[in-house]
């Protein structure tokens, strides 16, 4: 990734063509969908990235009663994906889900 950034092969800033740069990221060894999505959210300022396989997101959604880990798969039927209506602000939803993990576990619930 550092070599691709240094050579200009990949550019990561808010004004880039997000689809093109994401494809370039995914073509690099060791960069998968979660990493590309996180970079897209943070470096490219994409407000609509959801990380359905992120451990924190899965834990927060289970804790909030929204989804089981099986339903979090992007392969599951659309009605089982509660994050779809959150478009075009799914990146913000991810941050809110992560923030719920900083709050104490409700009484009687296991973390």
By annotation, the residues acting in catalysis are 54
d(CA 111, CA 108): 10
Residue 73: both structure tokens together: 């798969």
Length of the chain: 111
Residue 89: both structure tokens together: 């602000």
């Amino acid at each position: 990734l550092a070599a691709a950034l240094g050579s200009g092969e990949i550019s990561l800033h808010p004004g880039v063509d997000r689809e093109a740069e994401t494809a370039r990221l995914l073509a690099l060894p060791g960069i998968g969908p979660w990493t590309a999505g996180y970079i897209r959210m943070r470096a490219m300022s994409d407000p609509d990235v959801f990380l359905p396989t992120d451990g924190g997101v899965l834990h927060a959604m289970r804790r909030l009663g929204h989804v089981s880990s099986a339903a979090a798969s992007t392969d599951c039927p659309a009605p089982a994906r509660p994050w779809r209506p959150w478009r075009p602000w799914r990146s913000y939803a991810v941050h809110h889900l992560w923030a719920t993990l900083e709050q104490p576990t409700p009484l009687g619930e296991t973390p």
